[in-house]
Structure 1
Amino acid sequence: MTTLLHIDASARPGGSDTTPHGSHTRRLTARFVRQWTALHPETKVIYRDVGQEPPPPVTGQWIHAAFTSEQVREPWMHEELRISDTLIDELLQADLIVAGVPMYNFGPPAQFKAYIDNIVRVGRTFGFDRNRDGEPYWPLLANAGKRLVILSSRGDYGYQPGGRMADRNHVEASVRTAFAYIGVTDVHGTSIEYDEFADRRLADSIRQAETTVDGLVSLLESGFPLPASQAD
């Protein structure tokens, strides 16, 4: 059975196809999950809305707890890492991660950055040994077969490679880097642009992004066999 981790990071509630002033990224992630589960109804879906319920930011106490060996952690340390442990446990279960990450001021929302800071954790998703030959850090989720889909949106346009604003796009690159650091390197995605223009260009961008989402479902689901009842 496939496990899909569905993450929304937009501060806007509801999708732009169902809610006035709703989120384009919520629209795209919902479309992906809806189509995926239609093909794979046995899929276990874990939903995490960091846009509406953001994880707490990393603190000095969090760092102290994370870098203390689990065997000697004090009770307060376990409590400090409780939410981080929950988020990591969800990630470890997932075969497929579908993340809606809008662009806020050229980067991911603070809510999603807090999520990243909670899941990129020594001893759980990456290893560290200062006495290790060569690189002292290594990913703990490498070769786990996990796939990541990043679905984004922007108010302006031209953030794709080679576009007029490409050098100001710090969304996909930062998310890819963080997930690659822990071993998730099979990454796909698309985005909606022109939101602030609210004209035909936005409508065209939405249609193009939805078409790409449909294609990604077809591409990625081929790696997850259908259940016997549907394969016959």
Structure 2
Amino acid sequence: MPAKPLSSFRYLSFDVVGTLIDFEAGLVAGLRGIAAEDGVDLDGEAALTLYRTARYSPDALRFPDDLARVYVQIAPGLGLRPDPALGARLRDGVAGWAPFADSVAALASLKQKYRLIAMTNAQRWAFGHFDAALGQPFHAAFTVDDTGTEKPDPAFFHQVFAFVEAEGGSRDDILHVAQSQYHDIGVSRVLGLTNCWIERRHDAAGYGGTIAPAEFTTPDYHFTSMAALADAARGELA
């Protein structure tokens, strides 16, 4: 059983892309839209595998601007045209990426009890679209543009800790909620945070578009949906 009840937290910090926003569906839909123009039948999981390799390379740029570069690199392996204009289209399409079906209602419910903090490796321009799609539920938000670094760099988390401390809280008041073992769950454990793994790919093999962790971290809380987390919190607080 988790060491701390859900009712004991003041803050819930969230990974956004992949936990709240359906990153894999948005990326694959964008690639399929391009593929359809040339009559190419695109394999979504194959596309995610190629994306993962290209995205986590030494010459990677900030996300999602980096999608323009990534597209040109992975297009030949998918039978697509490596046209930079198509890469720009894929990048711009991020503005329309949708939340998971349960994200908006779950966040609205959780916001009634907790202060919600967004922690995203996405750039601020993209987060603005995600925030609007999610119903603008956040008390505070930290993007790669704000922090100058990406998770799993502990420096990203320390900026959030400083913000919470300025409000009179501490990291003990935070439950960190995320789907990525690599970007969030492992490092949050190292930093002494209580964490909650939202296993969005519970019905699919592998890590999809997200880099695999060096080792699996058993989370403090484990749900397969945001709805389940919201239900558990309501149950404790009833």
TM range (shorter): 0.3 to 0.5
- Higher normalized contact order (CA 8 Å, seq sep 6+, divided by chain length): 2
Q: TM-score, normalised by structure 1?
A: 0.38
Q: TM-score, normalised by structure 2?
A: 0.38
Larger Rg: 1
